[in-house]
Amino acid sequence: MSGELSPIDKAKFVAAKRAAEMVEDGMRVGLGTGSTAAWLVRCLGQMVAEDGLNITAVPTSARTAGLARELGLKVVSLEEAKWLDMTIDGADEFDHDLNLIKGGGGAHLQEKIVATASDQMVVIADAGKRVDTLGAFPLPVEVLAFGWQASQALLEETLVSMDVLGRTTTLRMNGAQPYVTDEGNYILDLHLKRIGNARQLALVLNQIPGVIENGLFIDICDRVVIGHGDGTVIVRDINEGTEERDRLDFMEEDNLFGDLSD
């Protein structure tokens, strides 16, 4: 055990734990990437080991796949699963309409493919990820390594006509080298500050030569599970128009999740 959980860790943990309770025996489940999603994988691993939960998992990155296998989950590819009952993933930002910015972990291409190949997408997040307007978090755009500078110039030119507050773009780095995605591509982070029309921007960005996919998830998320540091969990369902509030207690054994970090 690694000591008492911090409020932000508690928020992530209770969101993940509540979402794990939505998973039923026999489901095919997409597993997201990132710190909050990693908590989910550990919760599911505990359910598999202790409760005999039988699920098939489709990870959205190599590191999520590694963690899932380590914890005893049955891992298959999306090609093998064909279609999923549910995808559970984190988000860097979400708004009132459950539109998202994702890709802080560099896996938004696989995450979007898996999420849209599912009957429903559930987002797990701490309350700090909720925003009135998307854009404070840099928007990731995955681009081909070939000609990435030309793609960057076209992106910056396109942003001039978009309803955004900032137009700076940067190549994501991994130390002294460009960050490389699981697909061998680069990521350009768009520092927009505020996105006035996320739907329009998502469509326009993907028309630029060299752009593979952007991190705007529009009309994809069905439910969001919002964790708070006091253990409170709010579940919003955009389709049903409902909001449920619950509170999860912390047990000593929950501290086994405390070694996870961003």
Q: What angle do CA 52, 261, 250 make, to 5 degrees?
A: 55
91 is in an annotated binding site: yes
**69 by DSSP, 3-state: which?**
helix
Q: Whole-model pTM?
A: 0.93
CATH number belonging to the domain at 139-213, selected among 3.30.70.260, 3.40.50.360, 3.90.550.10, 3.10.450.50: 3.30.70.260
129 is in an annotated binding site: yes
Which residue of the set 24, 80, 93, 111 is catalytic? Answer: 111
19 is in an annotated binding site: no
Token couple for 85: 């009952």
Q: Dihedral of CA 193/198/204/207: which sign?
A: positive
User: Helix and strand tally (H, E) in the chain?
Assistant: 7, 17
Print burial letters for 176-202: b (CB count within 10 Å at least 16), e (below 16): eeeeebeeebbbbbbbbeebeebeebb
CATH number belonging to the domain at 7-129+219-250, selected among 3.40.50.1360, 3.40.50.960, 2.160.20.10, 1.10.1790.20: 3.40.50.1360
Closest by alpha carbon to 87, among 32, 26, 24, 127?
32
- Find the Cα–Cα–Cα–Cα dihedral 165, 175, 141, 160, rounded to 10°: 30
Averaged over successive runs of 10 residues, the pLDDT of the chain (262 residues) comes to: 74 96 98 95 97 97 97 98 98 98 97 98 97 98 98 98 98 98 98 98 98 98 97 97 90 49 38
105 is in an annotated binding site: yes
Break the chain into its structural domains and give their ranges.
Answer: 7-129+219-250, 139-213
42/17 Cα distance (integer angstroms): 9
Annotation marks residue 157 as catalytic: no
192-209 pLDDT tens trace: 999 999 999 999 999 999
